[in-house]
Every structure is written in C-alpha cells, then in structure tokens.
Amino acid sequence: MLIPKSILITGATSGIGAELAKQYSDRGVHLYLCARREDLLTEIALVCREKGATVSVFPCDVTDRAKMRDWILACDQKTPLDLVIANAGLGGAESLAGEFGEPEEVVRKLFAVNCDGVLNTVEPIKPIMVERKQGQIAIVSSLASYFGLPDSPAYCASKAAARIYGEALRPVLKPHGVAVNVICPGFVKTPMSDQLPFSLPFLLSVEKSVTIMRKRLAKNHARISFPAPLAFGSWFGMILPASISGTIMGYFRKFPKA
C-alpha cells in the first residue's frame, strides 16, 4: 500500500485536479499545486489547508518547460516527492471537431498541453526518483485514448500518446523502485465535461471518480480505467477492425447533439 505524504498535482484548480488536492489533504501531507490561474490556486489552497495539509502553490502553464522543471526540482528539494500526478489537460467543448476536424491552432494546443505538459511534469522528477529508488508517477489519460472518436481526433490522439508513454514507462522504472500508473477515466462530471453538448453515458461524480483513483493508486494498479462498462466498451472498440469501429463511430456522429 502506497501512502504518499509529499504530493505534486498539476491542473489543480478544477475538476479532477481540485478534487485530488482535497482528498489527499490531511495532517502531515505536503501538497504542491500547479495551475494557470493564481486566484483559483489560492482558493483551493485555503480549502486544503483547512483540512490540515501544508500547501505550496505555483501559477504556471504546464507547457512552459523551463519553469516547470525549476519548480519541480525546488519542490523535491524542499520535501522529496512521493507522488507526482500529471493531471493538467485540455478538453471539453474546445476540443470538439467541426465538419473538417479541429482548427490547426486547437490541434497544436491540445498536443502542447496534453502531451508536452505531461512530459514537462514527469521528465524532471524521473531521474531523481530513480536515483533514490522510490516514488510514484501518475499520468491522467482518458478512455478516449483507446481509439479515435470522430468528434475529437486531436484530443483522443493526445490522450493516447500520454497513455502509451506511461504504460511503456512503467516496466522501465519498476526495477528502480518507481511506480508508474496511467489513469483512464470515462465521463466525469466537471466544468470541462459540462461544456459538452451531448449526453454522457455512465457519468460519475468527480468525488467518486477521485476516490477510485486514490484507492487504485495506493494499490499501484498499472492502468486505472473506469467505469467498468465504458472501459470494456472502449477496449472492445479498440480491438475491432478499424473498418468496423470507424463505421460505428461515423454512424453515431450523425445523431444530433442533445
């Protein structure tokens, strides 16, 4: 059972990131929280401190490689990091494709945040954890990473890159005492999912979703996929021949948005 006391979380001011910060808050826990908006960071830090945690905040865009590296190294020097959660991500209505896919600027922004943001969070701490033979890295991907949805090609591709990176990294770092976990949620009720203009099957509350994540991270599950029905459906869609899965996805795309 892994019980972290020094935890770094990106994208910590909304949705899954904010709830992770709240649920990990306890006496003796030091949280390092990063997000773009300083005002929201201040608000979530206050909540976490009231629950007993020691909190340090850093307003920064995860795409800023140099600033992220300097901050992560400084956090680890202050209290060696037990758990780093690369959670910051871009999605929601902004990630939805139009008739001809997403505009180029949206595609590049999705990859910058969802891929480069993960690398900028993981790579600085990786050699440090390897050297001390201890630590845990969690990467938040999505069930949308299993196969490309026609409504969000770039989002699915960027989340797939993050998932494959984490899954491949796990056996590489395991012999060095470092755990790597990939989190693949389905639809979670957050401000981001609230933007989506269609019904969301098997929608889970953010509280329940993060409870699942914490329990499975503590048990060091390699891939944390939920809810089960949607996870199975996503996996099944992935193993279908592309001609079949593509036809099915194209058919569902014809339905009007709710």
User: Could you identify the residue written with the tokens 């991500």?
Assistant: 89
Closest residue by Cα to residue 98 from 258, 253, 234: 253
* Candidate list 146, 155, 165, 251, residue with the active-site label: 155
Helix (H) or strand (E) holding 109: helix 104-111
Distance in angstroms (rounded) separating the CA atoms of residues 30 and 32 = 7
Length of the chain: 258
Distance in angstroms (rounded) separating the CA atoms of residues 35 and 4 = 21
The dihedral built from the CA positions of residue 160, 116, 21 and 76, taken in this order, carries a sign that is positive
User: Is 32 labeled as catalytic in the residue annotation?
Assistant: no
User: Could you identify the residue written with the tokens 């505009």?
Assistant: 103
Residues serving a catalytic function are 155
